[in-house]
Every structure is written in structure tokens, then in C-alpha cells.
Chains A and B, each alone.
Chain A
Amino acid sequence: MGPLLTLSNSPLWANLLTAFLIGIVFGFALEQAGFSSSRKLAGMFYGYDATVIKVFFTAAIFALVGSLIMNYFGLLDLDLVYVNEYYIGASIVGGIIMGVGFIMGGFCPGTGICAVAIGKIDALVYIFGGFVGAFLFAESYPLLAEFASSSYKGPVKINEWMGLSPGVFAFILIIAAVAMFWFAEKAEQKFPRPDITNEV
């Protein structure tokens, strides 16, 4: 029964080693997907390359459905898996700021780290900017603390909020993802930029 390391009270080093090994697969998958290229990632927002949505939703649904199946067969206790806490204002405003960062920098932190690994100097500068961003947040935290912890809703699950079972919600999400993948493929045909896609 999982989560294995939580339930077996494993020592810290076992958890850190697991984190390192999982990180290797994570970084490998990001690089193989082409997420080490900012021009490929940015294609998502101009239509010429929609890899981001395909990889992102496939991964989320793979883990969601996998965890539900494992839970069903008693292999994983989902009550022991961390669910992100919901602070309405912070989630929305933080997300908007991240979107601006995405379109300026062409990376998110994970893809930026992965691009550093293959020698992208722009990614190195991006991550350096990330250090500055984290520092600025820490220093401005006293001013933001009130907003950051306002409208707290707890670790709300979206399916419970909608009154649906996890399985039904996952099914709806899969249908929505297939529709998005169809649009993504169409967009790539409609806004082709071979000059960019052949280069990245």
C-alpha cells in the first residue's frame, strides 16, 4: 500500500534518493518532449506548436487515472497524498503573474532547469531571474502576507466542489482533453511556422 515511504516511516535519505531518481525521469521526459526549447514552448501561445498542451494534459490525466486505479485496488491511499491548499486570490493573481513570466521568458521553472542541463544560456539567465524573483518575494512577504493567506478554502478537491465522483470528473476531463488535442492539431496546421519549428 502506498505512499510507500510515508507509510513505512522511511528515513530522510530514502526519500531524498527517491526524489533524485524521480527527478531524473522528470527531467528526461521534459527534454525528450522538447521543453528545453523556449521557442517550442512559446509556440503554444502563437499556435505554431501545441506540444505543451498535449504533454501537459496527457501527463496530468495519466497520473490522475493511474492513481485512481491504484486507489481502487488498494495500492495507494489517496488520503495520504498531498492536495494543494486553495487560496483563491493568491492562486489567481500568482497564476497571472506566472503567465506574464511565461510569455516573456519562454520557460516555466521546470522547463528552464531542464534547458540549463543541455546548455541553453537563456535558460540559465532565466533561472538566475528566478532566484531574484524568489528573493524579492521573501523580502516583500511582510507586505503580501495578508493577501497571500486570505480567502483560504483548504485542500478542496474540484470534483467534490462540483458534487461529482473522482471517476466521473476524470472521464469529463479526458473528453475535454481529447477535444483540446484535436484543436491543438488543427491550430498547428492553421498557423504553421516551418521556419521556427524546423529550427527548434
Chain B
Amino acid sequence: MQKKPYMNPYLAGCLLGTALLAAMYFSGRGLGASGGIKYAVVSAVGAISPQHAENSPYYSTYFKDKESPLKNWLVFEVMGVLLGGFISGAISGRLKLKVEHSPKISSKRRLFFAFLGGVFFVYGAQLARGCTSGAALSGMAVLSTAGFVTMVAIFGSAYMFAWFFRKIWI
């Protein structure tokens, strides 16, 4: 199947804004992503070592009400993201198993930095209590100062460090 072009960015922005507004209107909250990753880790730790989870000041807060941390708004939303992304990829002819990288670097190098990037991003997101979705995007839509500050910090930092990592992209 021929790859279809991407949607006009402003139109895609309105569609994304619709999802965010729906979250606000139905559930009184914003979107998120890193939170879903956190709940998966918390529940895995709880399953593998219940004692460790109980003794830790961090994990224990998630097991207080005896309900599984996976029965969570963000966990279900993230499952929806997987399905929505898949549907979009399917109708646009973009489903393909591959390591996407600049021809100037090896796929091993790409995977190494992808891994490291994931570690950093989600670590930072836990500290800031949200990532680009939960803190920056959703935060800005409700005019939260935290949202604007986090957004400026993420983009500002990425521009500051862009020069050091230019060889993996351009």
C-alpha cells in the first residue's frame, strides 16, 4: 500500500485538541502518557516483590486502596493510544516493522540513544509530575503555571542540547 501524506498540522492539532477537550469535559482531567508507563512499572514491582512495594514510601502509596494500579484512567487511555495509532497507520499505509534512523548512523547507535532518551524522559517526567502530554499540553489548556513552565523547560533544554546530539539527526 502506498504511504499517504500526513494530515495538515493545524488540522491534526484541532483533532488532538478535541481529544484533550473531551477528557476535560467527560472526566475533568487532561491527557497523559508517562503516567501510563509509571503505573505499569508500579504494578510490575508490586507483582514481583510485594514486600518491596509495601516498604517503599513511593510504591506503597499506589497500593493503599487494594485496587490494582492498572485500573487507572491513564492506563486505559494509553491502550487507546496504541489502538488509535495502529488504526491511523493502517489506513495510511505506514505499518512497518523498522528501526528508523538517519543514514549517517547505524541502527545500533539509534537504538542506544532511543533507550537512553526513554530513561531520561520518563525520569524527568516523574519529577515534573507529567510529560509533554500530561504537564505541558494538558497543563497549558487549563492555564496552569506548571504546564507553561514545564513546556518552556522541555523545549528550551532540547534546543540547548540539540547541538551536542546533531550527529544522530542531521
Contact A108 B33 (CB under 8 A): yes
Q: For this complex, into which size category does the number of interface residues on chain B fall?
A: 35 or more
A30 to B133, CA, bound (A): 11
Which of B81, B141, B158, B165 has the most chain A CB within a 10 Å cutoff?
A: B81
Contact A98 B124 (CB under 8 A): yes
| A 138-162 binary contact with B (CB < 8 Å = 1; else 0) | 1101101100100001011111010
Majority-rule SS of B interface residues:
helix
Assuming the contacts A96-B157, A109-B34, A125-B115, asked whether A193 and B170 have C-beta atoms less than 8 A apart, the reply is yes
Partner of A104, one of B113, B138, B141, B170: B113
Which of A11-30 touch B at CB < 8 Å?
A: 12, 15-30
Assuming the contacts A2-B26, A126-B117, A134-B126, asked whether A120 and B78 have C-beta atoms less than 8 A apart, the reply is no
Give A153's nearest chain B residue, CB to CB.
B145
B interface, CB within 8 angstroms of A:
6-7, 9-10, 12-34, 36-38, 40-42, 45, 56-59, 71-74, 76-89, 92, 94-102, 107, 110-111, 113-162, 164-166, 168-170
Contacts of A5 in B (CB 8 A): 26-28
Contact A131 B41 (CB under 8 A): yes
A114 to B141, CA, bound (A): 21
Contact A97 B146 (CB under 8 A): no
Contact B82 A94 (CB under 8 A): no
A18 to B94, CA, bound (A): 27
A143 to B152, CA, bound (A): 26
Majority-rule SS of A interface residues:
helix
Q: For this complex, into which size category does the number of interface residues on chain A fall?
A: 35 or more
Distance (whole angstroms) from the CB of A104 to the closest CB of chain B: 4
Contact B27 A28 (CB under 8 A): no
Partner of B118, one of A54, A58, A94, A130: A130
| A 89-127 binary contact with B (CB < 8 Å = 1; else 0) | 011111111111111111111111111111111110111
Contact B27 A105 (CB under 8 A): no
Partner of B135, one of A16, A84, A93: A84
Give B5's nearest chain A residue, CB to CB.
A34
Distance (whole angstroms) from the CB of A148 to the closest CB of chain B: 6
Distance (whole angstroms) from the CB of A31 to the closest CB of chain B: 4
Contact A63 B141 (CB under 8 A): yes
Assuming the contacts A24-B80, A59-B13, A84-B147, asked whether A91 and B128 have C-beta atoms less than 8 A apart, the reply is yes
Contacts of B117 in A (CB 8 A): 101-107, 126, 129
A129 to B10, CA, bound (A): 31
